[in-house]
Amino acid sequence: MRILGIDPGYGITGFGVIEAERGRSVLLQCGAITTPAGMDFSARLEIIYEDMRQLLEATKPDAVAIEELFFGQNVTTGIGVAQARGVVLLAIRQAGLEVTSYKPMQVKQAVVGYGNATKHQVQDMTKRLLGLSAMPKPDDAADAIAIALCHARSSTSLLANAQRQIDN
């Protein structure tokens, strides 16, 4: 299964594409969609949307996983990230793909086995699971890879398979 993981943002939207099969995952591609600071915000959203459409077309994922928003101290930044996440979701929907959202704690739990893991622990385990010599940069791409790994582990779990059988 080819999985596209997305870490949404309006300055940097990280992405990671993995191929997951029988408990093994391989990193195929990763990177970031970036927009210049100071640019009109609606123009930044347009860049994110268009680049996401092109990414979806180029990578042809079977599944897409995206991080849910966590509003910390800065609600203003959170609103901008929410808008960027919205255009990403629109591009995914228009591509005819379903998307699964994961909370940061779920990603940490799936990748590290501990929901309160540090960012460094998540990156280290991601690197180990994929057999990488170094963690990809920027951090947003690394986070997106972890989100894709979370989906690979969650979507193939016995519980997830049982739920799909109930839904069908």
7, 21, 40, 124: which is the annotated catalytic residue?
A: 7
Based on the number of CB atoms within 10 Å of its own CB, is 128 exposed (0-12), middle (13-18) or buried (19 or more)?
Answer: exposed
98 is a catalytic site residue: no
Residues in the chain: 168
| DSSP 8-class letter at 74 | -
7 is a catalytic site residue: yes
Amino acid present at 26:
V
Helix axes 104-112, 119-130, angle to 10 degrees: 50
Give CA–CA dist 100/167, Å, rounded: 16
Give CA–CA dist 127/40, Å, rounded: 36
19, 140, 143, 167: which is the annotated catalytic residue?
A: 140
40, 50, 51, 67: which is the annotated catalytic residue?
A: 67
143 is a catalytic site residue: no
* Residue numbers annotated as active site: 7, 67, 140
